[in-house]
Amino acid sequence: MRRSGTIIIRGIVQGVGFRPFVYAKAREFGITGTVKNLGSEVEIHASGERFEEFLEAVSRGTPLSRIDSVDVYNLRDGQETAGFTILESGRGSLTGFIPADVAICDECIADIFAPGGRYEGYWATSCVNCGPRYSIITDVPYDRERTSMAEFPLCPACQSEYSDPSSRRHHAQTIACAACGPRLSLLRADGRPVAAEDPIREAAALLDEGSIVAIRGIGGFHIACIEEAAEELKSRLGRTEQPLAVMAEPEEVERIAVVSPDDRRILHSRERPIVVLEKRDPESHRTISRLHTIGCMLPYTGLHYLLFAHLDHRLLVMTSANLPGYPMITDLESALERLPRQVDCILTHNRRIVNRCDDSVVRDGCIIRLSRGLAPKREAIDLGDACILGVGPELNSNISVYKNGFCITSPHIGNVRNPQTLAYLTETVEKIGKLTDARYDMVVHDLHPQFLSTRYAREVAEANGAELLAVQHHRAHIAAATREECVGIAIDGVGYGDDGTVWGGEVFAGEVPHLERVAHLEVVPMPGGDLATRFPERMLYGILPTAEIRGLLASRGWSDMELAVLAKQVERGLNVAATSSTGRVLDAASALLGICRERTYDGEPAMELESEAYGGRASVWDLEFRQDGGCEVLSTRSLLAEAYRRMVAGERVADIAASIQFNLARGITTMAVRAAEERGIPRVVLSGGVAYNRAIRETIGAGVMAAGLEFIVSREYPLGDGCISFGQVVYGGSMRE
C-alpha cells in the first residue's frame, strides 16, 4: 500500500474547480502536501495513511473536468510537507486546454435570490462550477490574472471566500460581488445613460413596454424584445423572414413547443444551447418563426434570471447582434456605432469579452452551431505527431487545431466571405494557436481555389513552412463522422467537386483518406450560378426546362424577356454551373410548389418546404437510376416532373412536399445500401446540412437499418459545415500516416 506519491492528472483540469476539489479531498482523507495547476495537468504531492483512498477520490474529478490519464510516481526528497497547500500555477503542456463557458449553477441562482445574502441581485454571480470561462481568458493556465476579471480586485469578503477551503468559491477565478465585481449600466442607443437605480429592473420595464434592447451577455451582444415587438425588430434588422430564437423559462418552453426527454436534457444542460423544437401549434408564433419549429433556450446567466424575475412577459425574442454570417458584436463601442437605429437602449456591463462566443444551436440532438458551452471543443484522437490546422470551408465556418493526440475546434466563426469574418477567422487561429502553442506542420483547406479561407491557408502554410493540403468538402463531412470503412452520404448545399462541378448529393465508399465517389444525384444546370441559389425558380427551370415551367413562371410575373434570357442560358450553357446538390433540388421543389420564391437567409426554401411537408402525407413514387462514369445516379428531373404532374392534377401541396422529401431520401438510401452491399461494408454514415431535416434523416436511417447496416449520424460535430475544419484535420492526419 502506498502512503505517498506525486499524482499527475491530465485532461481538462483548468477552470473546473480542480485544485479546491483536491484540497477538500486532502482534508477529508488527512493528506498533507501540495497541488499545482500546470495548464493541462494538475500535479499533486501527497502523503498520508489514506493515500490510496485519496487517489481514488481525486481520480474521479469534478463535474466539469475531463480526465484523460492519472499517473503516480514516487515522491522525491523534500517534496513532503506539513499541511496541504494550493501552489501558484506553472506553465506545463497545453493539450488539456480550457473549458468552455458554463451556465450559472442552481446554487448560484439560489444565492442571487437569497434575501439579504451577499449575492442578492448580483448579475455576475458565479462559482467554481459555473460562469464564463473561454469568453474571458487571455492566456493559460486559467487564473484570474489571465482573464478579463483581473481588472476587478477582490473585496475583503470575496477574498475570504476565495481562500476558504470549505466554500464553493474556494479558488473560483470568476468570484465577484456587487461591491467589487463588474457592473451593469443602461444606456440609450446614443450612449447617454438612463438614470436607473436598478438597470435590470429598468430594462425589464422597457422590454415589457415593447422597446428593443441590446443586452451584453457572456460572449457578445444579443438584441431582445417581447413577442409583440418581433415584427418591428425584424424590420429594423432587415431580416423579415429569418426565424428568431426565444429565451424563456422551462414552463413557457413546454407550453409553446413539444419537448422530448432528450430535448429537455439538452435544454437544461450546463451548455444551455438554443434547442430547435416543434411548435405545439405549427401556425403559432409566426412573427418569431414562420416554420413549424422554434428555437428555444433557457436563461443561462444571473443577468437573464434577474431579467425574467422583473419581466411581466414570459418570453423574450433573442437574436445575436450581427448580420447573419458576420461576427457577433462584443464591445460597447461597436454596439453604439452599429446599433443606434436598431435598438432603443443597451444594457451593458464593464467586463471585457476577450473571446467572442455565439449561442450554440441543437436540433434533435444534432449540433447545428457549435459555439458557447460546446466550444472550444476538444476531441481525443490519434492523428500522429504532426501539428495540423484546418481552416474550414466558406460558410458556417470554424477552425480546428490538432496537436499531440487532441483536436481543438473553435466556436462558430461565420461566413468567411467578407473582410470582417476573415479577420475573425485569423484572430481565432492566432488565439487557439497561442493557447495550444501550435507550430503547424500541415494546413488543410477546402478544394475551392477562390475561397478567402483557401488563400488564408496558403499564407499560414508559407509562414510556418508547412505542407498545404486541399480536401474536397464532402469528403471532409464524412471524415468528421468516422474514420472507419463506410459508405458516406453527404447531402448538402454546395461544395466544390473533384471535377470542378458543384457537388452536394454524394455517396462515397471506402476509408478516410480513400473515399471514392460511387453515386450522386443527377447533375443539373444552375442557371446564373449563385443567382440560382437566391432565386430558386431559376433552379427549377434548370432542372425542368420545359414550356410548362416557362408558363408557370410567366403566370407568376416573369416577363417574356426574363424567360427568354433564362431559356437561352440553359439551352446554351452560358453562365451555368453544373450541380448535384441536394439543397438545390429541394430549393427547386420549394419554388415549384410556390412555397419560397426568393431565398433571404441560408437554407430558407428547403426549410420552408420541410415545414410544408410536416403537415403532409408522402406516397411512393417511381425512382429512376442510371450509370454515369462509374457512378450510380438518381434522376432528380424525374422526381420534379412527377411533382409537377401531381401539382397540375390538384394534389395537396403538403402531400407533394412530403413525397419529394421522402422519395429523394429513398433514392439516396437505395444507392447507399447498394454501394455498401456490393462492397461488403457494414455501415452507412450521413452528414451534410440537409441531414438536419428530420423527415429526410429518418427516412434514410430507417432504410439503412432495414438493410441490416449500421447507421451513423454524428452527435459530436455539426452535420452542416461546422464539421468541415475537423474533417479537414482528420483527413490531413490520415494522409500523413
For Zn ion, the binding residues (CB under 5 A) are 105, 108, 127, 129-130, 155, 158, 177, 179-180
Could you give the C-alpha distances from 309 to 198, 230, 463, 475, in angstroms and in order? 13, 21, 53, 49
Instruction: Give 174 or 569: the residue with its C-beta nearer to Zn ion.
Output: 174
* Shortest Å distance, C-beta 174 to Zn ion: 9
Q: Which three cell numbers stand for residue 249?
A: 423559462
* Shortest Å distance, C-beta 351 to Zn ion: 14
Pairing, β 293-297 against β 315-320: unpaired
Instruction: Give 270 or 683: the residue with its C-beta nearer to Zn ion.
Output: 270
Instruction: Give 127 or 675: the residue with its C-beta nearer to Zn ion.
Output: 127
Q: Tell the burial category of 649 from Cβ atoms under 10 Å away from its Cβ (0-12, 13-18, 19+).
A: exposed
Q: Residue-wise over 522-540: b if at least 16 C-beta within 10 A, else e?
A: bbbbbbbeeebbebbbbbb
* Shortest Å distance, C-beta 103 to Zn ion: 9
Instruction: Give 127 or 494: the residue with its C-beta nearer to Zn ion.
Output: 127
Type of residue at 728: Q
Q: Give 40's DSSP letter.
A: S
* Shortest Å distance, C-beta 107 to Zn ion: 5
* Shortest Å distance, C-beta 150 to Zn ion: 14
* Shortest Å distance, C-beta 118 to Zn ion: 8
* Shortest Å distance, C-beta 704 to Zn ion: 43
Q: Tell the burial category of 310 from Cβ atoms under 10 Å away from its Cβ (0-12, 13-18, 19+).
A: middle
For residues 525 and 579, give the distance between their C-alpha atoms in angstroms, rounded to a whole number.
6
Could you give the C-alpha distances from 337 to 423, 551, 640, in angstroms and in order? 19, 49, 48
Instruction: Give 179 or 423: the residue with its C-beta nearer to Zn ion.
Output: 179
Instruction: Give 144 or 234: the residue with its C-beta nearer to Zn ion.
Output: 144
DSSP sequence for 250-319:
HHHHHHHEE--HHHHHHHHSTT--EEEEEESSTTSSTTT-SSSEEEEE---SHHHHHHHHH-SSSEEEEE
Q: Residue-wise over 106-133: b if at least 16 C-beta within 10 A, else e?
A: eebbebbeeeeeebebbbbbbbbbbbbb
Instruction: Give 14 or 454: the residue with its C-beta nearer to Zn ion.
Output: 14
* Shortest Å distance, C-beta 101 to Zn ion: 13
Is 733:444 a contact under the CB 8 Å cutoff? no
Nearby residues of 13 by Cβ (< 8 Å), 6 or more positions away? 37, 40, 41, 42, 61, 65, 67, 96
Q: Is-cis flag, bond preceding 324, omega within 30? A: no
Q: How many CA atoms lie within 13 A of 14 on its CB side?
A: 30
Instruction: Give 102 or 673: the residue with its C-beta nearer to Zn ion.
Output: 102
Q: Is-cis flag, bond preceding 199, omega within 30? A: no
* Shortest Å distance, C-beta 313 to Zn ion: 27
For residues 615 and 487, give the distance between their C-alpha atoms in angstroms, rounded to a whole number.
32
Instruction: Give 181 or 510: the residue with its C-beta nearer to Zn ion.
Output: 181
Instruction: Give 270 or 310: the residue with its C-beta nearer to Zn ion.
Output: 270
Residue (of 288, 290, 258, 287) closest to 275 by Cα position: 258
* Shortest Å distance, C-beta 125 to Zn ion: 7
For residues 225 and 316, give the distance between their C-alpha atoms in angstroms, rounded to a whole number.
6
Q: Which helix (H) or strand (E) segment is 630 a member of?
A: none
Instruction: Give 299 or 390: the residue with its C-beta nearer to Zn ion.
Output: 299
> What is the distance, to the nearest Å, from the Cα of residue 363 to the centroid of all Cα atoms in its chain?
11
At 520 the three-state DSSP class reads strand
Q: Which three cell numbers stand for residue 524?
A: 443539373
Instruction: Write down the residue that cell numbers 513532503 correspond to.
Output: 80
* Shortest Å distance, C-beta 709 to Zn ion: 45
Q: Which helix (H) or strand (E) segment is 626 a member of?
A: strand 625-628
Instruction: Give 118 or 239: the residue with its C-beta nearer to Zn ion.
Output: 118
Instruction: Give 158 or 346: the residue with its C-beta nearer to Zn ion.
Output: 158
Instruction: Give 172 or 471: the residue with its C-beta nearer to Zn ion.
Output: 172
* Shortest Å distance, C-beta 169 to Zn ion: 8
* Shortest Å distance, C-beta 218 to Zn ion: 14
Pairing, β 514-521 against β 631-634: parallel
* Shortest Å distance, C-beta 161 to Zn ion: 8
Q: Which three cell numbers stand for residue 557?
A: 410575373
* Shortest Å distance, C-beta 98 to Zn ion: 18
Instruction: Give 108 or 317: the residue with its C-beta nearer to Zn ion.
Output: 108
The pair phi, psi for residue 729, each rounded to 5°, is -65, -45
